[in-house]
Each structure stands twice: as C-alpha cells, then as structure tokens.
A and B are shown apart, each in its own frame.
Chain A
Amino acid sequence: MKIVAVTACPTGIAHTYMAAAQLEKTAKKLGHTIKVETQGAMGIENELSQGDVDAADAVIFATDIAIEKEERFARARTILVPVQAALKDPEAIFAQLK
C-alpha cells in the first residue's frame, strides 16, 4: 500500500520524531511505502504535498494535538491514533488499514 502519515506530540521535541521513525520502520518491514510528515518544534518537515495525499491509499495521524494544514486531507481515507500507539504497537495501526 501507499501510505502517508503525520506525527505531532505536545512538546514536539521527542515523540513526534520517535513515532515517525517507528512508522517508517514498520512500513518497510510490512512492505508498504510511506512518507511521514513531522509537525514538531522544528515546524513542518518532510511536508506532504496535495499530490502525495491524493496518491496515497490511506493517511495515518499519530497525533496528540491539532495539526496544521489539515485541509489537505479533506478527501482522504484517514485513521487517527495517539502518538503512543505508534510507539507501542505500530503493526496494529497498519492492520487497521486492511
């Protein structure tokens, strides 16, 4: 599957990036392609374009706070999980996409 994701945690220092790494690692292991945008203390990085979103089969939000530029995802198939879920059991998130 072709997946895009956004991660964002309260302070934007640690968990945003930890979750991103975890989602990337798990996608690779399960044979999916993924692009993860981080919204942390660095601002938006690895930003998803409208094209990225439109081409994706699904969007994962691993977020604990409201995200910026949410309008990009208006028409997409999305699932929302807490950041912790991405750290604890990322494979379960991907299982939900099936």
Chain B
Amino acid sequence: MPLEYEFDCPLPNGIHARPASALEEVVRHFTSEVTLINRRTQRSANGKSILAIIGTDVRAGDSCLITVSGSDEREAMVVLSTFLRDKFPHCDASLAPTKAEAAAPLSPCLSHAGATIHRGRSVVPGIGSGRGVRFGAFSIPPSLPREGVANTQMEWHRLNQALHKLNTAYDNRLKQARGIEAELVKVHQSIARDVDFQDSLQAAVIRRQHTAAGAIEAAEAQFSKMLAASGNEMLRERAMDVQDVCLQLLHEMYGDAAKVVGVKLTSDAVIVAESLTPGQFLSLDRKYFKGLVLASASSTSHTVILARSFNIPTLAGVPELATIRFGQHEIVVDADAGALVTDLTDTARRYYVLESRRIIGHRARLKLLSARAATTKDGQRIEIAANISTASEAAGAFDSGAEGIGLFRTEMLFLDRSTPPDETEQFDSYAAVITAAAGRPVVIRTFDVGGDKPLAYLNLPKEENPFLGRRAVRIYPEFETLFRTQIRALVRASAGGKLSVMIPMIATVEEARWVKRIVAEEQQKCEAEKNAFDPAMLVGAMIEVPAAALAVEAFSRELDFFSIGSNDLLQYFMAADRMESELMTLLNPLQPAFLRLLKLIADAARSHNKEISLCGEMGGQVRYLPLLAGMGLNKISAAAPAVAGLKAELARLNQMACQQLLTAAISCATADEVSALLEQFSTQAGVPLVETELVLLDPDATSKEEVIKQGVDRLFIMGRTESSQAVEEAIWRREATYSTGFGHGFAIPHCQTNAVRFNSLVLMKLKNPVAWNSLDGQPVRVVILLGIRAAQAGTAHMQVLARLARKIMDEEFRAELERETDPARLCAVLQKIF
C-alpha cells in the first residue's frame, strides 16, 4: 500500500515552475516513487519530473493527492509532509497574482492622427520604431529526417550523448552567467535533466523508430502543448523555455545542419511574434532591435525579463496579431501608451517626434537637477541617497543624482537559492557598490530574512505572524556563522571606501551590543590576518520597531547612526498589517501620531549628535518632503528614479517654513487635516503659476491636438505633472463640453485635476494659427493653458485666475499679449494682474 498525503494547493499562482522545482528538490533525494495527482484535472505526475508536475496544472485551491511507495517511503513521507505543510505555502511568496488592467485613453493627438492603432499591454515601457519583422514559431528544418531509424539503440545512444553534452554546456555557462541569464540557464538545465522529458525522447526513438530530430520535435510538441494548455499564465511562459532547450539539443545533435534560417536584422526593426524564446531573443542583433510585440507574454516570462534588462520596449496581448498587415513598413511600439501603431501617417510621425522631444526634454531637465547638491532654498543640506537591492543598480543610482547609497538591502543575495552566498561572493558584491560610489557614503544593511522572506536553508518553522516573528537581527545569534560571514565580508569591503553597516529590526540595546561585539571580533581577526579594513566603519540601526524609536538615547551610546524604516515602523506603530489593503487608512504616514513619533526620533538623534535618515517609501514621495525637511533629517534615501525629483522639490522648500508646517501637522487631529495642510502648503510653497520656461513662442504645432500636447508636455518637462496623459485627458474632457476658443484669436484650454502637482499656466503664441472651433470661427494665435489642482476654492491662485479670466476679455490686455515677443516680458505682463 503506498503512503498518501492530501493537500489543497495554497499558492495563489498555482504550482508553476518555481514551486514545482522546490517539490522536485525534496522528492529527488528518495528512491521511492512519488506521484502527484490533481483531482480537478485528473492528471497525475512523476514527482521527480518538474515538467510533469507543472503539467498537472494545479491552481490555487485544487485538491491534490501525493502517493509515495518504495523502500524509503516512510522517511520520504515524513520529510515530504513537513515540507508541504511548512515550506511549500511560502515557496512563492514574492509573486503577487497578476491583474488585468484597462488600457488608458490615448492622446487625441495620436488617436486623431489617422494611423491604425492596436492596443496591447505594456510589459516593458518605452517607445521604439522600425521596420516590422515577423518572427516565426518554433520549427525544425524540414531537411532533417524524422522517422525510420534502423538501429534505434545507436540513435538513442547518440541522442543521450547530446543530452550530456548540453548539460556540460549549461554547467560551463553557469560558471560565467550572472543574474537573469544564470536563472535562465538553471531553468533550461532542469528541463534538459527532467526524467519525463528524457523518457519521452527515449520512447520516441526506441519504440517508435523516430530519429533524434523526430523525437525532439515530438517532445517539444508534447510538453509545449501541456504547458500552453495550462490555465496559468506563468506556466504557459515555460513552453518557451522547453522550445529553447529543444533547439539547443538539436544543435548539439546536428550542428549547423539544425539551424533554422534565423532573422538577420540590417536596420532598425520591431519584432512581431506570436511568441519568442529567450534564445531567439538573444540571437537578434540588439543594435537594430528597437521593439517587441508579442501575442501573449506575462511580465514573468524570461523573454520579457530579458527585454526589460536590455530596455527593449515591449507590448503583449495584442489581439489577432497574426492578421495585422504592415509589409515592410515602419511601425511603432508605443509601450508607454500601450499601442502598436501601423499605417503611419505624417501626423502620427509628428506625434512621435513630439513624444521624443518630451522625453528628451524631461531627461535633460532631470540631469540638470540631479547634478546639483541637495539643499533647501535657505541652504539646509539634506543628503538625497538611493535604495538598491543589487550591486548592479549602484551605477545607475549615481547617474540619477544619488549622493550616496542610503540602503543596500542585501537579502537578494540570500534569497532564491539553496545555499547561502560565501564570503567572497558577498565581498565582491559589496566592493562593487563601494567602487561605484567613488568615495560617496554607502550604507549596507545586514540581511533581513525570516518572517515574510523565508530561506529554505535556514529551516525556520512557519509562523502564525511572520512580521512579528523570527526575522533579521532576532535570528542572527541562531545563525551566527552566517552573520559572521556577512560581517567579515563587510569589514573587508570597508577598506575600499566610506562604508556603514546597518542592522535591521533592532528592538533592544542587548541586540545592538551583541552585533557590536561580533563586528569588533571580526575586525580583530581581519587585523590578525593582515587584511585591510576601515577601523572607522560606522555601525547603525534601522529604527522600525516602536521600542527602538523610544530608546534612541540609550542606543546612541552603542551605535553611530539611525535610519527610520518608515514602512515597518508605521505598521508596527499602527498595529496594521501592511499587506492588508483594507487597512490603508491606518497605514497613512500622515497620521499625526506617526509624524509625532518621527519627530521624536529625529530630535533624540540630533540631541545626541547622531546622524538620522529615513529610507522607507515615505521618503520617495515629494508630497511628504516638506514634513521630512521640517524634521531636520540629515539624509533621505529613496528609489533611484525619485532622486532628481526630490532634489528639485527640496530646492523649492524653506527649512523654517517646513518646521512650522511640521509643528502644525503634529497638532492636527486627523490624517485628513494633515493632508489638507500639506496641500495648502504646497500651493503656497513659492511655486509660481507661470514662469518663463512655461512661455512657448512658436511651438511646432499644426493642430489643436499638437498645441495642447505641447503645452501639457511642457508641464511634464518642468516637473509640474507626472502624467502628461492624465492632464491631456482632463483638458480634452473639458474641451468636449464646448470649445475654449472664445474668439479674437485666443483660446483658454483648462482643466481641474490633481494630476498637476502645482497650479500652472502655459502661454503659447503660434506663428501659424490653428483651427480651434472658436466662438467666432477664427483660428487661434494665442493659447493660455491652465492646469489647476482640484479643491482649490478660496486660495490665492484661484483669485488670480478669476482676475486673469476677466482680464482677457479686455482688448488692450490681449493686444499687449499679442505684441510682446520676449518670454520674460510676457511673464511680466501676466504677473501684473496677479
């Protein structure tokens, strides 16, 4: 009688590649036969075959049965049932179920351009254009015979040898491959080694007299079909990986004779394919590879991950892709708008010229802003640093204007692997960041694992409440060797620059003392072994446990600096799980009590002359910056793309005013009151309604659509909106009630939307008048475009606008605007009425 174990699949994405390989990993160590049966699909699988496990198409909640029989069945069942109960539910924790999103409306500038537009889902943002090139599906050259093998044993022997060679090739590639490429090789290797895959090949040759080519073709069809039929998008993606392995195996077997004539790009091209294997992707010349359109692909497919890492704009889910005709013509993949544009017209081309100007203009301005040191208007210095998760992100962060690395989360080095990284691997990673920093400060946080980030090799039991459980500093004594290895790598890396070590989840002074002792001991060892290190390396702590927040004074005697981890601190302080979307109102960082706590921490750190920074999500949002600046933080660390915006915002702020704002915010009763206060503060924070950069003389516009687009684009370039699309849409919505061309060659397009960050006025004077469907039927020469935040009643700006609206009915005022040709003087004309 085989032993049985029943379970319901607890994984939201079902058993796809990752959980399947975790299961196979456990099963493989026993000689017993293990079978997985999915009761819903009635499919069963050999537990030692990842492909077969995947093929059972287990989805969330499916009722499953595992049977074990063989000499070591008892032992196997004990291990297996423990695994299924404790670890299996977490082996896929980082993947959220995918959600379908509705496509955002297109700019009328594009939708009215007369081109053909096919909507799709953006999987890698960006815009690319080139000749449309179709890429065929998986195929084996017809010249290779498929059947009729005389000596089947010999044929299988040769195919088996090719499998071994492929495996060795994977091993060799693994030695050099890093990151995504290494992951890819591992998945491919696991397919090549899969027992079901090999059995299928063998059966085709031995029993059906297939040639190796015929067997590979059959195996590909069998497994691709099985995966493609799965209800899970992530599984369907693995079909691409099976195809890649089959192509590589074919190549091992037949050499160049197996090469399907590939696509060779000779000029800028957009690849259009039902699907594309990672190997096919890599075979394309990236010099000309400008965009990718796929019929189906999820953001977790390896091809999409590759596209992302090479910045190839990619669109997926374009319906009826095969029927779209584009001949040899230029097409555009607009993954920013979620559109494939074919049958391009001159107007559509002009739209993309304007789009590229918008993007280049925005980039140029960010570059300008990111180059300067971060200070407030009145000269208060606040370092703006970047958060990173891998060493390879460091260079990009500094390019974005980061003045240091404020948080390097080292967990990524430890997650998703079967053994922890050794000292050399860690040292290399830390040293790479320090080298990229070139003397700028780097804060590296020791591994924050356990809890919601379980590691297979730590064998920690499942907890009821992982956020309140054994994680970070709390598990260091238990895994002292692991921790010492990291500290040792950090101590050695400190020789290369300005390194600080930060400890997560500190709650008590004893924990801090323990860590300090380990650091001191590893430093002594380094010294004894004559390894270089920086004896002045700082050791600090994350403040994310409320107990630590209230004990900064005591910690100041042990530690050198503090950094507020606002996400965890907020959830612990408000007793609200941050994974619980229903609790968002509690998790609002504008809760007055939370702001009070932050100020308490900052004040305490300052009074003991310790550096205090903030590295949570709150730091990345410009909206909160006035409050943080008011706290007198020394440093704010945020995601790299937020850095330039934070610097720009900081330069607008006055430290004294921010302090007063914070004082007022803390005495508010509710988060809504703080929010209103902040809104009021931001609109009065010295951001003028109009500035010379918002005056456009003779913009390159031939239609109302192009005028509005360029006005809105200017708001985007000047950092007054994050979403041109949303502002444009609001303006056109208003335009739909009746035209804002009120006659006399003037138009006043406007909208009320919080998609603009500040109330703004763009003045455009057109050399070539455009039709506006005006009240008097005349074309328009002067355009005053207004973007106004909602809920502004009674503010100073609204009074100004009311005066402006009255004033433009005055002939003399209009004449003055028409006469003036200098942006600064035009600004002055407008400001006269303010």
Contacts and interface: CB of A to CB of B under 8 A. Distances in A.
Q: Bound pair: A and B?
A: yes
Interface of A: 10-18, 20-22, 25, 38, 40-43, 45, 64, 82, 84, 87-88
B743 A11 contact: no
Contacts of B742: 15, 18, 87
Those 10 A-B pairs whose CB atoms lie nearest each other, nearest first: A17-B805, A21-B806, A21-B809, A88-B775, A17-B802, A14-B805, A18-B805, A17-B806, A87-B742, A11-B752
B802 A10 contact: no
Nearest to B738: A84
Contacts of B748: 14, 18
Nearest to A10: B737
A64 to B, nearest CB: 7
B755 to A, nearest CB: 14
Interface string B566-590: 0000000000000000000000000
B750 A84 contact: no
B792 A21 contact: no
B793 A42 contact: yes
Given A41-B752, A41-B793, A42-B794, A13 B786 contact: yes
Contacts of A18: 742, 748, 805-806, 808-809
A11 B750 contact: yes
Contacts of A11: 734, 750-752, 788
21 contacts: A10-B737, A13-B786, A13-B798, A14-B740, A14-B750, A14-B805, A15-B742, A15-B805, A16-B805, A17-B802, A17-B805, A18-B806, A20-B806, A21-B806, A21-B807, A22-B809, A38-B802, A42-B798, A45-B802, A84-B738, A84-B775
Interface string B823-834: 000000000000
A84 B801 CA distance: 18
Contacts of A16: 802, 805
B711 to A, nearest CB: 15
A82 to B, nearest CB: 8
A87 B805 contact: no
A45 B799 CA distance: 11
B464 interface: no
Given A14-B805, A21-B809, A64-B737, A41 B743 contact: no
B529 interface: no
Secondary structure dominating the interface of B: mixed
A88 B742 CA distance: 7
A86 to B, nearest CB: 10
A17 B803 CA distance: 8
Contacts of A12: 752
B812 interface: no
Secondary structure dominating the interface of A: mixed
Residue of B750, B799, B801 with highest tally of chain A CB at under 10 A: B801
B775 A13 contact: no
Interface of B: 734, 737-738, 740, 742-743, 748, 750-752, 775-776, 786, 788, 792-794, 798-799, 801-803, 805-810
Contacts of B786: 13-14
A14 B734 CA distance: 11
A25 B799 CA distance: 20
Given A10-B737, A15-B805, 9 more contacts: A11-B752, A12-B752, A13-B798, A14-B805, A18-B742, A21-B807, A64-B737, A84-B775, A87-B742
B385 to A, nearest CB: 40
Contacts of A38: 802
B754 to A, nearest CB: 14
A37 to B, nearest CB: 13
B112 to A, nearest CB: 23
A21 B740 CA distance: 16
A30 to B, nearest CB: 16
Contacts of A43: 793-794
B738 to A, nearest CB: 6
Contacts of B738: 82, 84
Contacts of A45: 802
Residue of A21, A43, A45 with highest tally of chain B CB at under 10 A: A21
B794 to A, nearest CB: 6
Contacts of B752: 11-13, 41
A84 B799 CA distance: 22
Contacts of A64: 737
A21 B793 contact: no
Contacts of A87: 742-743, 775, 809
A15 B806 CA distance: 9
A54 B748 CA distance: 35
Nearest to B790: A41
B581 to A, nearest CB: 32
A41 B810 CA distance: 21
Given A18-B742, A42-B799, A84-B738, A13 B750 contact: yes
B830 to A, nearest CB: 14
A22 B810 CA distance: 9
Contacts of B801: 13-14, 17, 41
A1 B829 CA distance: 36
B805 to A, nearest CB: 4
Nearest to B806: A21
Contacts of B792: 41
Nearest to B744: A87
Residue of A10, A14, A21, A25 with highest tally of chain B CB at under 10 A: A14
Given A43-B794, A64-B737, A13 B788 contact: yes
A45 B776 CA distance: 29
A75 B751 CA distance: 36
B806 A41 contact: no
A13 B568 CA distance: 42
Contacts of A82: 738
B776 A88 contact: yes
B160 to A, nearest CB: 74
Nearest to B801: A13
Residue of B742, B743, B805 with highest tally of chain A CB at under 10 A: B805
A11 B752 CA distance: 7
Residue of B786, B801, B809 with highest tally of chain A CB at under 10 A: B809
Nearest to B797: A41
Nearest to B739: A84
Contacts of A25: 809
B810 A21 contact: yes
A64 B799 CA distance: 21
Contacts of A10: 734, 737
Contact of A13 (B803, B805, B808): B805
Nearest to A25: B809
Nearest to B807: A21
Contacts of A14: 740, 748, 750, 786, 801, 805
A25 B813 CA distance: 14
A45 B808 CA distance: 19
Nearest to A43: B793
A10 B751 CA distance: 10
A43 B793 CA distance: 6
A16 to B, nearest CB: 7
Nearest to A20: B806
Contacts of A42: 793-794, 798-799, 802
A69 to B, nearest CB: 16
Given A11-B751, A14-B748, A17-B802, A41 B788 contact: yes
A38 B734 CA distance: 19
Nearest to A90: B809
A44 B743 CA distance: 27
A25 to B, nearest CB: 7
